[in-house]
Structure 1
Amino acid sequence: MPAKKPFALRLDEKMMQAVEKWAADEFRSTNGQIEWLIHEALKKAGRLKDTKEGGRMKDEG
C-alpha cells in the first residue's frame, strides 16, 4: 500500500457537517469518507492509472 501524505483541508462548517453525517451513515470515518469521495471523483474523471489485475481495475474492490 502506498504511503499516505498528510495535508490540511479547510472546509466551511456546513460542508464539513454534511460530510461527517454522510460518513456516519456509511460507517466510515470522516477522513475515510473524504478519501473515498476523492477516489470516486478521480475514477469518474479517468484520472487514476490503469492497474488491471485479472481483467478488473485494482480500485474496483
Structure 2
Amino acid sequence: MAPKKNFPLRIDPKLYEVLERWAADEFRSVNGHIEFLLRDAAMRAGRLKEHRILPQPPEPEAEE
C-alpha cells in the first residue's frame, strides 16, 4: 500500500459530529469515512479511475 498523505483539516464541529455518527454506523473511523466519501465523490465526478473501496458489481446477464 502506498504511504498516505497527512494534512490538517479544519472542519465545523457540528459537521464533525455528523461524520462521527455516520462513520460509527458504517463501522469506520472518522478519518477512514472521510477518505471513503472523498474517493466516492471523485469516482462519481469521473476524476478517479480506480476504486479500491467499492468495486463495481458485475453486470447482470441479459435474459433472452
- For Structure 1 versus Structure 2, the TM-score category normalised by the shorter chain is 0.7 to 0.9
Larger Rg: 2
Structure with greater helix share of residues = 1
Structural RMSD (CA): 1.5
Query: Identity over the aligned pairs, expressed in percent?
Result: 52
Equivalences, count = 54
In the other structure, the counterpart of 2:61 is none
**What's the CA shift string for 1:29-61, capped at 9, x where partnerless?**
000000000000000001113x5xxxxxx5227
Runs (5+) with no aligned partner, structure 1: 52-57
Higher share of residues assigned strand: 1
TM-score of the superposed pair, with normalisation by structure 2: 0.76
Using structure 1 for the length normalisation, give the TM-score.
0.79
The 4+ residue runs of structure 1 with deviation greater than 2 A are none
